[in-house]
Structure 1
Amino acid sequence: MSAIDGLPPLRAVIAAHELSAKKALGQNFLLDLNLTAKIARSAGELAGADVLEVGPGPGGLTRGLLAEGARRVLAVEKDARCLPALAEIAAAYPGRLEVINADALRLDVTAHLCPPIKVVANLPYNVGTELLVRWLTPAHWPPFWESLTLMFQREVAERIVALPGSKAYGRLAVLAQWRSDAKIVMRLPPEAFTPPPKVASAVVHLTALPAPRYPADPEVLERVVAAAFGQRRKMLRASLKGLSPEIEGLLEAAGIAPTDRAEQISIAQFCALARMLAG
């Protein structure tokens, strides 16, 4: 599909605006509008929602979101070279696309969006995980977003959906699955991108839960999980000893063997231990 909206194909847009991808910005452009439309559809019904997109680049996914009926798209782009191409999309969809030239890590997007809000993005590789952790750990829950549909390196995507007992299970899995339902909805090979990255990619869809799965203080849980997986090869009685001088007793009270290792512990058990520490 070369066009979905009467605008030029993405390769022509990139050539016209001389938009070579910058490695320093974590850019890998997805040029196939069939794929960008498929990613947009994997976010669910868009017609009644505002959509936040981070790192739109030349606007392939932006066009997919608008063509799939997003009520409004807020595109946050750090690279000023992309602004003229995005302005052409805004002109084709009057009143439905707002582009902000800013660093998404420093911008309060909530002032520009109206609920319900969905986040859909082919995230720049160099900030993707940090943005995800921020969206999963707001001061108050439920968050500003209803769902996140995000492209990551496949390894990161698999860490988000990993289950206890697997090598990929870690801090990201606990943070994501404690407060959301997470699943991989698409896998993409390197050759789908320009330039092709060295790794495969995947799209993860996360739906915010009304409340966390298990009660726990978020800050305490974060400290427990960070300490446990920071030394994941050690037994928990060793990796968590800095949290309390009575850690062995607290582990046993939470139903955890002190000789277990982090990857063996379920989210429910981590939350139980966080409650013991908080209490």
Structure 2
Amino acid sequence: MPDAIEALPPLREVIAQHDLAARKSLGQNFLLDLNLTRKIARAAMPWAAPVIFEIGPGPGGLTRALLLEGAPRVIAIERDERCLTALAPLVDAATGRLMLHPGDALEADFAALAPPPWQVVANLPYNIATPLILNWLAQPDRIARMTVLVQKEVAERLAAPPGSKAYGRLSVAAQWRHNVRMLFDIGPKAFVPPPKVTSTLVELQPRQRPLAEADPDRLERVTAAAFNQRRKMLRAALRPLWSDADARLQAAGIDPTRRAETLTIEEFCALARLL
């Protein structure tokens, strides 16, 4: 089976044959260097689930790498019909280990495609990366690990510690129930067409238990209120939630004059428990 995959035409030939000019509307930036795609696949190992979901495989660079590195089963979600046609020979070469699912990943029912747990390994389209990740963060019991290539700015927000400029709602949502690691950068020249930004591979591994007890919806309400007015003191930023925000903050042991970016995730959880 690896021989059949390695015997497939080079990716640039596949792109030319199927007229796969990247479409900006789909957030497409193809990664064709198999050395890099195999590096990404190896970074996702050891395989943590029987099914690997890939989003936006394009001409199949990362898909080939996942299969060559021994991924047990890959389900690739692709909304571009041109790419689905171009990937058909790879499906044949994979002899049952690759399934293509046509459609929008934001609307896909992963559970209908395969029973959990799953692992996600993907070069995410820039225009849907954040909403996809937020959706997956809410399913730590279903997704064993995420290894995703995103804009470096998004990776920094996911991994940012309290007190940093990048720390915000996404940081809290990610780190509350996941360990987040930035693995390595990939420059624009590695992609076709080259984006204007550097990309970063980031790993999100579910924690055995959250950093602190909190209801996820209430935690989101608190962080949204706090960071929507991040330049204001918390006593003012949280007033939409509580008319007596000053007293509530003091009850949680938090100085009302602090600002959102200085709070730890555990402190945000304490506020969520007061709602």
Q: TM-score range by the shorter chain?
A: over 0.9
User: Does the 8 Å CA contact 2:181/2:202 hold for their aligned counterparts?
Assistant: yes
User: Which residue number corresponds to residue 104 of structure 2?
Assistant: 103
**SS class of match (2:271):** helix
Between 231-240 and 109-118, report the one with greater CA deviation. 109-118
The whole-number CA distance in structure 2 between the counterparts of 1:251 and 1:128 is: 34
User: Does the 8 Å CA contact 2:5/2:90 hold for their aligned counterparts?
Assistant: no
Amino acid at match of 1:107: A
User: Which residue number corresponds to residue 194 of structure 2?
Assistant: 196
**SS class of match (1:146):** strand
User: Which residue number corresponds to residue 44 of structure 2?
Assistant: 43
Amino acid at match of 1:32: D
Q: Deviations over 1:214-253 (max 9, x none)?
A: 1001111000001111111111111110101121111112
User: Which residue number corresponds to residue 5 of structure 1?
Assistant: 6
**SS class of match (1:252):** helix
**SS class of match (1:151):** strand
| Matched residues, number | 272
The whole-number CA distance in structure 2 between the counterparts of 1:255 and 1:148 is: 35
Q: Deviations over 1:180-214 (max 9, x none)?
A: 00001120111010000011110110001232111
**SS class of match (1:105):** coil
Structure 1: runs of 5+ lacking an equivalent:
none
Query: Which residues of 2 match residues 245-256 of structure 1 at below 5 A?
Result: 245-256=243-254
Q: Compute the displacement of 1:153 (Å).
A: 0.6
User: Which residue number corresponds to residue 181 of structure 2?
Assistant: 183
User: Which residue number corresponds to residue 163 of structure 2?
Assistant: 165
1:211 aligns with 2:209: yes
Structure 2: runs of 5+ lacking an equivalent:
none
User: Does the 8 Å CA contact 1:47/1:71 hold for their aligned counterparts?
Assistant: no
Amino acid at match of 1:199: V
Q: Compute the displacement of 1:47 (Å).
A: 8.2
Q: Deviations over 1:76-134 (max 9, x none)?
A: 00111101221111111111111011011111011212444100110111100000011
- Structure 1 residues 178, 35: CA separation in 2 closer, same or farther (over 3 Å shift)? same
Q: Compute the displacement of 1:254 (Å).
A: 1.4
Scaled by the length of structure 2, the TM-score of the pair is 0.96
Q: Compute the displacement of 1:49 (Å).
A: 2.3
User: Which residue number corresponds to residue 69 of structure 1?
Assistant: 70
Which of 256, 259, 263 does residue 261 from structure 2 map onto?
263
Amino acid at match of 1:123: L
The whole-number CA distance in structure 2 between the counterparts of 1:63 and 1:252 is: 55
Which of 224, 227, 233 does residue 226 from structure 1 map onto?
224
**SS class of match (1:149):** strand
Q: Compute the displacement of 1:8 (Å).
A: 1.6
Q: Compute the displacement of 1:41 (Å).
A: 0.9
Scaled by the length of structure 1, the TM-score of the pair is 0.94
Amino acid at match of 1:246: D
User: What percent of counterpart residues are identical?
Assistant: 57
Amino acid at match of 2:114: L
Between 242-251 and 197-206, report the one with greater CA deviation. 242-251
The whole-number CA distance in structure 1 between the counterparts of 2:14 and 2:87 is: 10
The whole-number CA distance in structure 2 between the counterparts of 1:9 and 1:166 is: 43
The whole-number CA distance in structure 2 between the counterparts of 1:264 and 1:97 is: 45
The whole-number CA distance in structure 2 between the counterparts of 1:196 and 1:36 is: 16
Amino acid at match of 2:79: K
What is the aligned-residue RMSD (CA, Å)? Answer: 1.4
